[in-house]
Amino acid sequence: MVIDSKQLKTLFLDFFTENEHSLIPNSPLIPEYDPTVLFTPAGMHPLIPYFLGQPHPLGTKLVNVQRCFRTGDIECVGDSSHLTFFEMLGNWSLGDYFKKQAISLSYDFLTNKRWLNLDKKRLSVTVFAGDQDAPKDLESFEAWSSCGIPDDRIYFLSKEDNWWGPVGNTGPCGPCTEMFYDTGKPACGPNCRPGCSCGKYFELWNDVFMEYNKTPSGCFEFLKQKNVDTGMGVEHTAAMLEGKENVFQIGAVRPIAQKVEDLASITVPDDVQERSIRIITDHVRAATFFLGDERGVKPSNNDRGYVLRRLIRRAIRFGRLIGIEQDFLTDLADIVITLNEADYPLLREKQASIFEELNKEETKFKRTLEKGLRKFQRIAENCPRIDGKDAFLLFQSFGFPIELTKELAAEAGVEVDVTGFNNEYACHQKVSAKSATKLFKGGLSDASAETKKLHTATHLLNEALRVVLKKKDIVQRGSNITPERLRFDFNFDRALTPEEIVAVEKLVNDQIKNALPVVREEMSVQDAKTKGAQGVFDDKYGNSVSVYSVGGFSKEICGGPHVENTSELGVFKIKKQKGIASGVRRIRAVLQKCDQ
């Protein structure tokens, strides 16, 4: 029986739950409470506080499947294995079992007939060889031996191969052991061994033994507890299990690539076309997940929005390269949604806004792409180095992310003065800083007094909807606040009646009249939960979250800012309501000085 990615996920979760692991949620791609990373890069990332000793509400043995995104891999996409967006399976021990049991669980899952049933004889492993920071990992060696892996298939490798983390410069880290499957292909030479990139050894799984904490001074000290962090790439392992040459051939990805081929009327792609097809497939897949995330991102020139823009524009450029004339992003996004909606129903719910954003970006970029490419050619023809001013002109007037200019330059054999570009960019930022607004989490466009008032009103509205509509599970699906109005999206499957609108307005205005104090407290996620705070309870939160209470009326996990007392708000008035996706409503409301 061929195991595909869907079955692989089910088997993995079943195996570990049978082995007393608790299933934890697949956290959003966009971490809300970790400003140090733009996207969730690994299944372990949301768990860092727990590796450091914070008790996890679901216990010491955990398992999940986690959607991940790695920006560092964008340039590599196009080969047989790299994806920017992927799913990762992981099991974790938080100070519970360690090397011996982790290895025996891994071995059982890989080789047992009930699970992956892989051929034991084709399995080889690597373990940490030891250095000045940490000793040779004989414990893992022994554990593999006792599973029956012969010595000549256990390789001792250095830190470069068998050490993981820390994610930043400091934090939990440790030696790892990796598992490889022999594909049966001939060795590329006498030094071919697991880890070699020739394709003979297929990397299956990585068990990290987090026993150290790297301190700011660069020392490795023992953590309070010894943890296990494992990671298995879903698409990657599915490729092996489905007997496919690469991740773009698996059932969960191939239909997207097929559509690209159809749109470009390509039947047998050559190598250059194949690379373009893969890039488009990966990038549109990632972009769809970005836009459809719980904390969806929109294309922009900042941070996450910029990464999204880069992905979309790169996909458009490669689409043009293989001759796709028409708009194509939403056709592909539709397939991405169809392939993933069973596990990620929010993608379908947000389909309308995903399509809208993709269409907008496609229209915008296509308007300038041709002219920009001609401009690029003229510049590149005349000198071997694109200076900062020209790179900035391509960015500002033609919408070319600097990475795109670099890529075009590399293809044309010319250089780009990236430092010069950065200087131009910084200069420009300074000039426009006066009008620039600071981005706050939770959809605030600035921190003006008016915006703060509307933000507090949003909390009141959120609670009032739950009360008036008598539906406790109403949650925020999106929020966008400007100094003029608030916009609030929530799950509800019909329009509010005029009476309900009046009742919601009245309930909010009553709280304003009650002059309730707005109080911010730091507390643990567990406490926030116990105290009934609203908000997404990911198991990724750090030691504490910030919770805003409006009198005894509302309590929400939120980054602020808010007014100090509801008496500052004015009169709350709902201006518009509409459905924006199936089961999702949007309300626009304002605060007026008096009842007009």
Closest to ligand SER by CB, 64 vs 351, is 64
In whole angstroms, how close is the CB of 3 to ligand SER at the nearest point?
21
| Interaction pattern, residues 348-367, with ligand SER; x per rule: CB under 6 A | --------------------
Closest to ligand SER by CB, 43 vs 442, is 43
* 8 A C-beta contact, residue 148 and residue 139: no
Tell me the two tokens of residue 449. 């007094």
Closest to ligand SER by CB, 127 vs 444, is 127
Q: Which of 28, 46, 90, 372 binds ligand SER (CB under 6 A)?
A: 90
Q: Which of 231, 299, 401, 535 binds ligand SER (CB under 6 A)?
A: 231
Please choose, out of 27-35, 124-132, 224-232, 436-444, the segment that lies near ligand SER by the rule CB under 6 A: 224-232
Residue corresponding to tokens 């009930």: 114
Strand pairing class (22-23; 61-69): parallel
Q: Binding of ligand SER at residue 164 (CB under 6 A)?
A: yes
- In the chain, % helix, strand, coil (3-state, to 5) comes to 40, 20, 35
Closest to ligand SER by CB, 178 vs 538, is 178
Backbone angles phi, psi at 16, to 5 degrees: -75, -30
In whole angstroms, how close is the CB of 8 to ligand SER at the nearest point?
16
In whole angstroms, how close is the CB of 510 to ligand SER at the nearest point?
50
Closest to ligand SER by CB, 43 vs 388, is 43
Q: Binding of ligand SER at residue 42 (CB under 6 A)?
A: yes
Q: Give the C-alpha separation, 71 to 286, whole Å.
A: 11
Q: Binding of ligand SER at residue 227 (CB under 6 A)?
A: no
C-alpha angle 436-439-441 in degrees, rounded to nearest 5: 170
Q: How many residues does the chain have?
A: 596
In whole angstroms, how close is the CB of 109 to ligand SER at the nearest point?
15
Q: Which of 38, 44, 234, 574 binds ligand SER (CB under 6 A)?
A: 44
Angstrom distances, CA of residue 206 to CA of 223, 387, 409, 501: 20, 44, 37, 54
Angstrom distances, CA of residue 356 to CA of 312, 369, 391: 13, 20, 29
What is the distance of C-alpha 415 from the center of its chain?
Answer: 32
In whole angstroms, how close is the CB of 206 to ligand SER at the nearest point?
4
Closest to ligand SER by CB, 125 vs 346, is 125
Q: Which of 29, 208, 315, 481 binds ligand SER (CB under 6 A)?
A: 208
In whole angstroms, how close is the CB of 403 to ligand SER at the nearest point?
24
In whole angstroms, how close is the CB of 368 to ligand SER at the nearest point?
38
Tell me the two tokens of residue 83. 């994806």
Q: Please, where are the H alpha helices in 383-532?
A: 388-398, 402-412, 418-432, 449-468, 498-513, 525-530
Q: Binding of ligand SER at residue 230 (CB under 6 A)?
A: yes
In whole angstroms, how close is the CB of 220 to ligand SER at the nearest point?
17
Q: Binding of ligand SER at residue 140 (CB under 6 A)?
A: no
Please choose, out of 21-29, 227-235, 395-403, 477-485, the segment that lies near ligand SER by the rule CB under 6 A: 227-235
Please choose, out of 25-33, 39-47, 310-318, 377-385, the segment that lies near ligand SER by the rule CB under 6 A: 39-47
Give the DSSP H or E segment for 360: helix 351-382
Closest to ligand SER by CB, 206 vs 534, is 206
In whole angstroms, how close is the CB of 209 to ligand SER at the nearest point?
10
Closest to ligand SER by CB, 51 vs 328, is 51
Closest to ligand SER by CB, 89 vs 335, is 89
Of 278, 290, 232, the closest CA to residue 253 belongs to 278
Question: 8-45 burial string, b = 16+ CB within 10 Å, else e?
Answer: bbebbbebbeeeebbebebbbbbbbbbeeebbbbbbbb
Q: Give the C-alpha separation, 111 to 62, whole Å.
A: 21
Closest to ligand SER by CB, 229 vs 357, is 229
Of 72, 94, 98, the closest CA to residue 84 belongs to 72
Contacts of 338 (CB under 8 A, 6+ apart): 255
Chain residues that interact with ligand SER, rule: CB under 6 A: 42-44, 90, 164, 206, 208, 229-231
